[in-house]
Amino acid sequence: MEVIIYPDKEQAAAAAADYVAGQVKRNPYIVLGLATGETPLGLYKNLIEKNRKGEISFAKASSFNLDEYCGISADNENSYAYYMRKNFFEHIDIKLENTHIPDGSSENPIIACEQYERAIKGAGGVELQILGIGADGHIGFNEPTSSLSSRTRMKTLTEKTIGDNARFFGGDASAVPWHVLTMGIGTIMESEKIVMLAFGESKADAVAGMIEGPITAMLPASVLQTHQTVKVFLDEAAASKLKLAGYYKWVLSRKPIAEW
């Protein structure tokens, strides 16, 4: 796990975008795993600009999103399908038929999840997975106590996550769906490379547990300690409770080989 700390989230997002862009250039047919929420917006903004300038192309790429709410259509402005179109897909040259999001409106979520797993495998697996982290340490919608080997499935959100996501539903927690479809932790861990983004003081405890704490299902993101290639992009606020923050900065300043 490589911990990369920048003074603010704008610089961290820009650096993460440089790394992702480098991976897209290396393999134009890359399979991306994508996240939603507030955290990856800066990353997407930077990638959109690189695409606009002709520095990278997503024309041959494909993508799989981490999760989707149950019981709302893809046209609902609170769905993650809508989020992805408005914040990323409509602004780049990716083919929409090559983008995949769990079908939260499916009448049979079990079958929908099994089909999603097969689609990921059929695409050759995710090469680069983008992640954010919840304040309680969840990744995707794998809440605390989720199996560290879990596959794509339906999950019930915690009250904490529902409350955190209420801001996207006009502040009304009662409007947030209780259930979601999400890639499992085992599914996420099969990605070849992972980029984790975390910004703000509210994520500091979860970040510290993820990087320096024990590996436990009570903090699902801690499993990333066992993945071969994880780059964690943080701002100072999110890194504020790391005991070894100085060491991570020392290592970055003396990195022998530039990767992006």
What amino acid positions are annotated as catalytic residues?
67, 136, 138, 143
Q: How far apart are CA 85 and CA 90, in angstroms?
A: 5
What one-letter code names the amino acid at 223? V
Burial class (CB in 10 A: 0-12, 13-18, 19+), 68: buried
CA torsion, ordered 122, 125, 131, 134, to nearest 10 deg:
70
Question: Do residues 124 and 29 touch, judged by C-beta distance below 8 A?
Answer: no
Tokens (6 digits) for 209: 């547990």
The vertex-19 CA angle with 192 and 49, nearest 5°, equals 125
The vertex-57 CA angle with 184 and 40, nearest 5°, equals 40
The DSSP-derived string for 88-109 is TGGGS---GGGEE---TT-S-H
Q: How far apart are CA 68 and CA 157, in angstroms?
A: 12
Nearest by Cα to 231 from 7, 15, 10: 15
